[in-house]
């Protein structure tokens, strides 16, 4: 079964997570999610696998988070997911998906539990 990493090559945690997987002989599918963001349906699936709600997966320090008023309590789950699709920099990184499991690589070693 192949793993997928939603990766940002400029992020040190993302690079470290990818290196950790490769050091263990894993060859994950690498998706630069800033260039190829997940669809709303895929993001919803990832959230389910992570057992998280959209706000928990968002990078709250991003300018778009504040500009879009995503923490005002008025946005639906679908609205929040669409905001991440439209502004992928809002998505916490890296995310590794393996089968029916997913983990965020913060710290990078946290992804090892899904294998």
Q: At the top level of CATH, which class does the domain 3-114 belong to?
A: alpha beta
Exposure letters 62-72 (e unless 16+ CB within 10 A, then b)? eebbeebebee
Tens of pLDDT, residue by residue over 33-89, are 999 999 999 999 999 999 999 999 999 999 999 999 999 999 999 999 999 999 999
Tens of pLDDT, residue by residue over 14-41, are 999 999 999 999 999 999 999 999 999 9
Which active-site residues does the annotation give? Answer: 11
> Is the per-residue pLDDT at 97 higher than 90?
yes
The pLDDT value given to residue 72: 92
Q: How far apart are the two ends of the chain, measured CA to CA in Å? A: 10
Q: What is the value of pTM for the model shown?
A: 0.95
Q: Enumerate the domain spans of the chain.
A: 3-114
The pLDDT value given to residue 65: 97
């Amino acid at each position: 079964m192949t793993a997928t990493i939603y990766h940002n090559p400029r992020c040190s945690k993302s690079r470290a997570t990818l290196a950790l997987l490769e050091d263990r002989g894993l060859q994950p599918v690498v998706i630069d999610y800033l260039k190829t963001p997940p669809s709303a349906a895929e993001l919803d699936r990832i959230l389910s696998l992570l057992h998280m709600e959209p706000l928990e997966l968002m990078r709250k320090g991003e300018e778009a988070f504040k500009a879009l008023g995503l923490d005002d309590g008025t946005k639906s789950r679908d609205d929040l997911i669409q905001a991440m699709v439209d502004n992928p920099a809002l998505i916490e990184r890296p995310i590794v998906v393996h089968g029916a499991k997913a983990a965020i690589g913060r710290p990078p070693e946290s992804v090892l539990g899904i294998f």
